[in-house]
Every structure is written in C-alpha cells, then in structure tokens.
Structure 1
Amino acid sequence: MTVPTRQSTATRQQEALSGQVGMTHRFVVVIDEGQYDLGSWAKVTGLTVKWDKHTYRPGSANAETILPGNVSYTDITLSRAACADSEKVQSWLVATTRTRKRHSGAIYMVDHCGSYTVTWKLKEFFPIGWQITEFDASSARPAMETLTLAHTGFLDDEAR
C-alpha cells in the first residue's frame, strides 16, 4: 500500500474543486429572452427570498402550528467596473423608461470556463436605480456601475 504524498493529495483536491469554486464566477444578465444582453457583472446582491411565518394556536391548547405565509423578495443589485457593456445598460434603461413594461429575464452564473453553472429566472422586473461612482482620474480605482432591479420572484413556483 502506498501512502499518498502531500503533492498528490493537493493535486487531487484541486481536481475535485476545479470549476466548483465560486471565486472566479461572473454573472451574465439577459432580458426578454435575449432581446437585451446587459453583459457580465462582477457582483450580485439581493438574491434573497423570505416567507412570512404565521403561528396558529387553536383554543386553549398549548400546542401551536406554524404555517408558511406570503413570499417576499428583496431588490437585486448588480455591480461591475464600467465597461463597453455599460452602453447596453443605458440603451435598455432608455427603452424601459419609454414603455414602463415589466420584463422577464435571467441572471446566469458563469464559471471560469464560460459555462453556465446556475440560473435565476427573474419574473416581472424593472429597474429602480442606476448609478456610477464619481470619475476621479487621480484615483487608481475604476468607475463602478450599479444597477438595482425590483422583481416579483425567481423561484419556479406555479402559484404566481
């Protein structure tokens, strides 16, 4: 029986984690089945779902029943360094403000190889905010673009 060397163990761990570690992921946002592609984003926050909790205690019983209530979703914020794709966002924002239409779309998590690993399908969303950081040529930091979206959900539940 051979004892695994430190190097072979580390190599196996790297192979096992290859493509699975989220450190190199980017997020692609596509709207209305590809009509708008807002490009790649470095950070997504707000992919959160919560259920209200209702407690029911019948009569004078000591036992209580907990029931799930309404579902709520938080706003989603996308962030990245300003880039050529920022113009796509501006075009989409102009089109959106003219129509007041709710959109459907998806956020795709893309790994270091360019493969889609996870998809969140957004329902009935629209922009509620966009900003870019101040422009400062004396700073080594890039200008950061932030887009905030309100939506009615990303879970695939037919009850909606």
Structure 2
Amino acid sequence: MIYPVMNDMIQYFGNDVRRINHALKVYDFACLIAEESNVRGTERQVVEIAALLHDIGIKEAERKYKSSASRYQEEEGPAIARGILAPRHLDEKTLDRICYIIGNHHTYTKIDGTDFQILVEADFIVNIYEDEMKPEVVQSIKTKVFKTEAGTRLLEDMYPG
C-alpha cells in the first residue's frame, strides 16, 4: 500500500520537487527510526503513511492563506490526506490516527505515542539540514523534542556538537 500512497503524494505535489524530496527523506528517516525501535504492524503503517503525507496541507495553505505557516498546514492537511487515502480502505481508527498526526505534527505538546514521536524526529532530522539550523538550535531541539534512542543517535551522528 505504501507505494500507491507515495505515487499519490508525488502526483499531488506535481512539479514541486523540493516538497516531494522532503517527504521522501522524512519517510526514509521515519522508516529507519521505526525499524530500530521495533515498530511493527498497524503502528508502522501509520508512521510510514503519516511521514509521506505530513506536509500535504501546505499547497492548500498557500492557496487559501498565502502562507505555509505550520498552523495552516495542520488545518488543511487531514482532509487532503483523507482524500488521498480513501481508495486504500484503511480502517477508520488507523485513518483517524494518521490524520491526527498530520493535523498536529508541528504541535509538539500533542505528541501522544511512538508513531507520532518518530514522525516528529524524522521531520526534524531533515529540517535541520534543509533549514541550516545552528548547533545551539539543534541541541535545544534534541533536549526538548527527541525521545527515541534511534532518533537521538541519528541526530547525534549527523549533527555532532
């Protein structure tokens, strides 16, 4: 199921290669963290799909609000994700969980499970590089946000000191 969702995400973003690449990088890091954290079954499926679609609301946010602000992405993302996932016939609980994560992935106080934690850590690992964050910012993120062993190790390996 993951490859059809991946293709749908790519089609949705069209020629916005930067956002497609971002989603694919977050997906890869999320898969690695999930694997090393022994996440399996439905929880793994949630991690993978949420990682691919976490920023899916950005196009609509820019269209509607002329802004890619995180609150607008979170507001617009779940409905778009539901549309993309409708043909996949996911059970309602799984679909709701994916949409909850997409709809809150910049609201770190709402992290309420390993699946959500992994997505946030993977997104930060990619954003630190893409946004050229300073070492002191990385250290603050590590202290305030990172919880998984695998995500913390990756962060330390990739962004030492």
TM-score range, shorter chain: under 0.3
The structure with the largest helix share of the pair is 2
Larger radius of gyration: 1
Query: TM-score, with normalisation over the residues of structure 2?
Result: 0.23
